[in-house]
């Protein structure tokens, strides 16, 4: 099975711009989660989508949004970029729905490195 893919891998944007990141989960996985990883804060949960619906949301401002398509592919969008948004954005897929504890084992993509200047 192909793993989780994320595009683009690297991105440089200017303050005030917006950005869209894409994630294709492992085939058959229906849940997609997004995380922000920075050296200071570590891995922080952004949101989770399951069957095109946002099921969970972390403590991030409304500038961060996402969506999931019928084929389980997901996108996240960040509007009005700030310097502090520079981070590695990771997407992870899980089999879902909960059929046991292993249903929430995350399979991560390689991430998108976003630099805001």
> Are the CB atoms for 96 and 30 separated by under 8 Å?
yes
Min dist CB 70 to other proteins, Å, is 20
Each residue 10-29 as x (binds other proteins by CB under 8 A) or -, in order, gives --------------------
Q: Which of 44, 65, 79, 86 binds other proteins (CB under 8 A)?
A: 44
- Contact status: 5 vs other proteins (CB under 8 A): no
Instruction: Specify the residue, 85 or 112, whose C-beta has the smaller distance to other proteins.
Output: 112
Residues near 66 by Cβ (< 8 Å), separated by ≥ 6?
Answer: 34, 46, 47, 49, 54, 74, 75, 76, 77
């Amino acid at each position: 099975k192909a793993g989780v893919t994320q595009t683009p891998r690297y991105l440089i944007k200017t303050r005030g711009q917006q950005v869209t990141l894409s994630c294709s989960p492992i085939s058959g996985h229906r849940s997609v989660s997004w995380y922000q990883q920075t050296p200071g804060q570590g891995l922080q949960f952004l949101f989770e989508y399951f069957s095109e619906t946002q099921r969970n949301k972390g403590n991030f401002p409304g500038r961060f949004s996402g969506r999931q398509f019928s084929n389980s592919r997901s996108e996240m969008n960040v509007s009005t970029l700030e310097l502090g948004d520079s981070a590695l954005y990771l997407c992870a897929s899980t089999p879902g729905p909960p059929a046991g504890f292993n249903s929430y084992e995350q399979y991560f993509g390689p991430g998108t490195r976003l630099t805001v200047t």
